[in-house]
Amino acid sequence: MQGGQDICNRLRVDYLSLVSIIKVYVSFPEATQSDAASELLHLIEKYGKQIDKLPYLQESGVLANLFQDLESEESKEAIALLHLEDWVKKL
């Protein structure tokens, strides 16, 4: 079971890192990047601000729905604009 826990912990760290990067981009001096970050942050926050604090099964369900939303064309464009593709792939 330790392997599963390690994967879960890694996913949490990757998710929190991605959110932190997006939050930094919200204050980016160029409006295009700032707006893209704001859109992504709004999308993420509609699932709650503490997804990583949910019980495992709830967290998994919420993240699955979030990942599905990140596959939309609008989200993909924002992710590409901010060069976050590698971070999203890690999830």
pLDDT band at 57 (very low <50, low <70, confident <90, very high): confident
In three state form, how does the secondary structure of the chain look? CHHHHHHHHHHHHHHHHHHHHHHHHHCCCCHHHHHHHHHHHHHHHCCCCCHHHCCHHHHHHHHHHHHHHHCCHHHHHHHHHCCCHHHHHHC
Which pTM value belongs to this model? 0.85
pLDDT tens string 18-43: 999 999 999 999 999 999 999 999 99
Tokens 């997804």 correspond to what residue? 51
Q: What is the mean pLDDT of residues 61-69?
A: 89
pLDDT tens string 66-86: 989 999 999 999 999 999 999
- Residue 61 to residue 84: CA distance in whole angstroms: 22
